[in-house]
Amino acid sequence: MKKGVLLVNLGSPDSPDPKDVKKYLGEFLMDERVIDVPLWARNLLVKGIILNTRPKASAAAYKKIWWDEGSPLIVLSERLQNKIQKEVDVPVALAMRYGSMTIKKGLQELVDKGIDEVLLFPLYPQYAMATTETITVLAEELRQQYFPNLKIESVLAFYNKPDYIEVLSNSIKRHLEDKNYEHVLFSYHGVPERHIRKSDVTKSHCKIDGSCCATPSKAHEFCYRHQCYEVTRLVAETLEFKEGTYSTSFQSRLGFDPWLLPYTDRTIERLGKQGIKNMAIVTPAFVSDCLETLEEIAMEGQEIFHEMGGKDFTTVPCLNDDDEFVNLLSKWITSWSKSLVDVS
């Protein structure tokens, strides 16, 4: 068997032009694992409302963070891929779940190199229906339709692997070394509460009241909320943060359904109102900096904090193409390619 790796991230529009943003959002939000309502309701909501109202504002936000080389999320994912490729002996391809760099093209690129066994590596530390699951389901559909002889193994999550927590903690420590901060906020991308209940394999564990996520259960293998809180807990333990000096929140809610609480914007507001003058924010649901970290957190979040009387607002970059992170992913890939460990 000849082995290869397909890294997969979310994707971005081709440009920050409203036309391209609309096309991208259309594909993204019509995914039944992102907006998980019946097709008729999704059509009404996405094509009838969101795509007629959101693309202009989203395009303006994308324009603020766009780089000369392109979308930060894509450029940073490419840098990560290139650095990993230099460290490992197997071909490493990159694809995006939405947009032009499709998973089909990524699999084809590997098949063209004679690969018959692929490690599908979604670039998300925590498992969620709207991220990891939609990637693995689509890859399997593509395999059945176009690449029936391909074997695909998937990495479902790596949120609690001790070496990942160590790399993340080291990066946070390095970025906060000479900074003023009284509070560290761990802000994760939000999801509707319903997604968490749907992913509960036990169908009885998830209560969304917080207690379930701290009670051991096999539901946690697929519980995004539990996995986010675990990352906060493990990093705080590693960096010896004192109780009350850090917290967890969820950002980027969309629509009127209840999403995971507490919301990041309200939390920043509350911290400012409580008299916190210096805060830091880390975003461990994102491997690569993107619209949600560079605009929603670093720009909008900072503005909210300053309006509430806050002073220093430090944003810790995502792991991006951090050398320790590159070494870690390369180590896991090499172990898999030599069949030493099961990374899935």
177 annotated as ligand-binding: no
Looking at beta carbons only, is 71 or 267 nearer to ligand L6N33NVT? Answer: 71
Window contacting ligand L6N33NVT (CB under 6 A); options: 81-89, 168-176, 285-293, 311-319:
285-293
- What phi-psi label fits residue 11: left (phi over 0), alpha (psi between -120 and 50 degrees) or beta? left
Q: Per the annotation, does 189 bind a ligand? A: yes
Q: Report if residue 223 touches ligand L6N33NVT, rule: CB under 6 A.
A: no
- Residue at token pair 């780089």: 67
Contact call for residue 213 and Fe ion (CB under 5 A): yes
Contact mark string toward ligand L6N33NVT, 63..82, x via CB under 6 A: --------x-x---------
Q: Return the H-helix or E-strand segment holding 112.
A: helix 103-112
Evaluate whether 205 touches 217 at the Cβ level (below 8 Å): yes
Q: How many residues in the shown chain lie near ligand L6N33NVT by CB under 6 A?
A: 23
Collapsing DSSP states into helix, strand and coil, what is residue 249? strand
Tell me whether residue 46 is exposed, middle or buried, using C-beta atoms within 10 angstroms of its C-beta: 0 to 12, 13 to 18, 19 or more. buried
Nearest approach in angstroms of CB 164 to Fe ion is: 21
Is residue 265 within 8 Å of residue 259, measured between CB atoms? no
For residues 101 to 140, the per-residue mask of contacts with ligand L6N33NVT, x marking binding by CB under 6 A and - elsewhere, is -----------------------x---x-xx---------
Cβ proximity to Fe ion: between 11 and 317 the closer is: 11
CA gap 34, 269 in Å, rounded? 28
Q: Can you read off the two tokens belonging to residue 303?
A: 């503005």
The partner in contact with residue 168, picked from ligand L6N33NVT, Fe ion, none with C-beta cut-offs of 5 to 8 angstroms by kind, is none
Nearby residues of 201 by Cβ (< 8 Å), 6 or more positions away: 218, 219, 221, 222
Choose the binding region for ligand L6N33NVT from 138-146, 151-159, 161-169, 290-298 (rule: CB under 6 A): 290-298
The HSE-up count of residue 18 (CA atoms within 13 Å, CB side) is: 9
- Nearer to Fe ion by C-beta: 46 or 271? 46
DSSP classification of residue 199: T
CB 85, min distance to ligand L6N33NVT, A: 22
Known binding-site residues for Fe(2+) equal: 189, 292
